[in-house]
Structure 1
Amino acid sequence: MQYVTNGEKVYRTHCQNCHGAQGEGLGKLYPPLTDPNYLHDNRASLPRIIRFGLKDSITVSGHTYSENMPAIPELTEVDIAYVLSYVTVRFGNAKSKYEVEEVQKSLKPATEKK
């Protein structure tokens, strides 16, 4: 699957340093990316977290993480679809990849989503 292969490259460059080579996270600082329930339940917001960062606390696998995640605005919508396909399929056991259209819809301001 091209999306997963390309997503691994994006992940290694932009995500692995904090979230680990296997998506295991970093102690109590950075959350793991291996909780399939979190990935599934937050599928629509994950592209926004990557593009715009995250300043709020989140709970993943029963643990709360409150470190800020920096925005990665230089990633294209295709790059975001790639990396989320990699994370959700490889670490979260998802059966389907992220489509670019899904990422585009998620990134639109709320007033444009209709």
Structure 2
Amino acid sequence: MRNTIFSLIAISMLIGMLIFSCQPHVSIETAQYAINGQKLYVTHCQSCHGAKGEGLGMLYPPLTDTAYLQKNRSKLACIVKNGMTGPIEVNGKIFEGDMPANAELTNVDIAYILTYITTTFGNNTETYTQEEVKKSLADCRM
């Protein structure tokens, strides 16, 4: 049973890597980060932001606004790690729901999640690196 579960996980990861790697302009590293990020997204983000990043009514914003993701790229790691309170405008709409902190996530976890979000919902093809996360987190503490 344990081998079957492991085999299914390995096969699904391989299929995911093939799908991402077949996309033009997506590096193998980006594909690997996005696949790992998908699992973390399901665990930590999907219940509020939706399976397709569509958000939840007027409570939680969608993650499909490419302009917002690009404009605020340097702040995204800080938002994921520390949460966010107060209103936020996305796609011309105001959202009032607070985002809880995810203090238990490591820098690499955050890089995985943000790569998944920005490549899947934001149509970006760049890896959100661990170094970028580290810098973003250092800047948001200032």
Superposition TM-score, scaled by structure 1 size = 0.94
Q: Which runs of 5+ in 2 are unaligned?
A: 1-30
Aligned partner (choices 52, 63, 66) of residue 36 of structure 1: 66
Residue in structure 2 matched with residue 8 of structure 1 by the alignment? 38
Residue in structure 1 matched with residue 113 of structure 2 by the alignment? 83
Runs of 4+ deviating beyond 3 Å: 109-112
Aligned partner (choices 77, 89, 94) of residue 59 of structure 1: 89
Distance 1:95 1:16 in 2: 21
Distance 1:63 1:51 in 2: 24
Shift of 1:57: 1.1
> Which structure has the larger Rg over C-alpha atoms?
2
The CA deviation string for residues 39-80 of structure 1, in whole angstroms up to 9 with x for no partner, is 000000000001110012110011011111000000000000
Q: Which runs of 5+ in 1 are unaligned?
A: none
Query: How many equivalent residue pairs?
Result: 112
**Secondary structure in 2 aligned to 1:48?**
helix
Distance 2:86 2:134 in 1: 23
* Aligned Cα root-mean-square deviation (Å): 1.3
Distance 1:70 1:41 in 2: 22
Percent of paired sites with the same residue: 54
Distance 1:30 1:9 in 2: 20
